[in-house]
Structure 1
Amino acid sequence: MKILFFDLETTGIRYWRNGIHQISGEVVIDGECKESFNFHVRPNPQCDVDEEALKICHVTKEQIFAYPPMEEVYKQFVQMLSKYVDKYDRTDKFFLAGYNNSSFDNYFLKAFFVQNGDNYFYSWFWVNSIDVMVLATQHLLEERHKMPDFKQETVARALGIELEADKLHNASYDIYLTREIYKRLIG
């Protein structure tokens, strides 16, 4: 089984208007991490940039627009994917996995492919994905009413995972938390 655990940091919450500035994750095949990645990306030049979104990630416009161009990062990302998946084989794909990825990150990642002229996103990924937040819902049914929210940080704490609050909202740290939550849930 091939899983691409991933997390994105973006310039806002609208995938059709905002862009990606960080893509991090791990390639996991049959339960073994084969490769980790952490790409900083200059967002699409036509995207809107919400200053509040950048503050959450502790980055500035100057920083993100100094990152490598999205076309360059896209090529590196696809090169990495192609080491593990044959996009021409309909039976060989990754499951995308993340925290709240079904309603957020997946849309941004697909838009990233389209913005780079690639309309074959589903040649790489199954249409259904693994949303760790949804998995945690079932596991924490009895405790949910005591929780102030269902953010990744809150869920990690509820599962007894120690975390470093100053590292939150960095995609590479957030994917670490996602994997830790996932391990506890399927354990």
Structure 2
Amino acid sequence: MSKAVKVLFYDLETTGLHPSKHGIHQLSGRLYINWKLVKEFNCHVRPFEGDEIDDYSLKIAGKTRADLANEHHVHPHLVYRALLKTLNTYCDRFDKQDKYFLAGYNNASFDNPFLRNFFEKNDDKYFGSYFWSSPIDCFILASQALMARRHLMADFKLSTVAQEMGIPVDESKLHDALYDLDLTIALYSQITGVKLSNELVGQRS
């Protein structure tokens, strides 16, 4: 009997480029079971004590150090617990055949290491019990789709690729994890032809 296809599309905003020393300050995700949306979340996260903060990275995201410390940024332990509750609702981590695909843009080399490190900072070593080791990376999928035009493109950033694929981009909203997630999902649908349901089955968080 086949298992349900479980895909977590997600995007992060971070305090720097290195998961070993920087942290997450925004985590947005949409969870699909058999391509039906069952859960979505958008969390502004307070970095862990000891996480380094790169001011240039914050500037790109339109944030300040004061923003990360305000009441809208939730303690990372609480964000972790909420995420774990969602993951445990739709997956049995003790079943080695029941896991989520992690999907994003450049997530294989950037977001996934940050998310794994986020688990470890919460004293959880079971990241691999929830997620397949083979992610779905729209950065790689787009590389295949745009091979013939790649040499004409200025770069391969999400916004550039989305525009090249005919997806409208609002430059003022870039580097917000939820907006970047919208672009990523639209890009995935454009490349693969998989039409993702926009109807939420469940409750918003």
TM-score by length of 2: 0.90
1:126 matched to 2:125? no
Instruction: Show the counterpart of 1:169.
Output: 175
Partner of 1:109: 115
Secondary structure (helix, strand or coil) at the match of 2:108 reads coil
Paired residue for 1:26? 30
Counterpart check, 1:148 vs 2:154 = yes
Partner amino acid for 2:65?
Answer: K
Distance 1:83 1:174 in 2: 26
Map 1:10-159; keep pairs closer than 5 Å. Answer: 10-66=14-70, 67-159=73-165
Match in the other structure for 1:184: 190
The aligned residue for residue 198 of structure 2 is none
Q: Give the Cα separation in 1 of the matches to 2:101 and 2:44.
A: 22
Comparing 8-17 with 62-71, greater Cα deviation is found at 62-71
The Cα of 1:63 is off from its aligned counterpart by: 1.0
Unaligned runs of at least 5 residues, structure 1: none
RMSD of equivalent CA atoms: 0.7
CA distance in structure 1 between the partners assigned to 2:42 and 2:8 by the alignment? 13
1:5 deviates by 0.3
* Separation in 2, partners of 1:171, 1:142: 29
SS state of the match for residue 7, structure 2? strand
How many residues in Structure 1 have an aligned counterpart in Structure 2? 187
Structure 1, 172-181 or 80-89: larger mean CA deviation = 80-89
Deviation sequence 1:120-143 (CA, Å, 0-9, x none):
001110111001000000100001
Scaled by the length of structure 1, the TM-score of the pair is 0.98
C-alpha deviation, 1:30, in angstroms: 1.1
Runs of 4+ in structure 1 over 4 Å off: none
Q: CA deviation at 1:64?
A: 1.0
- State the percentage of identical aligned residues: 45
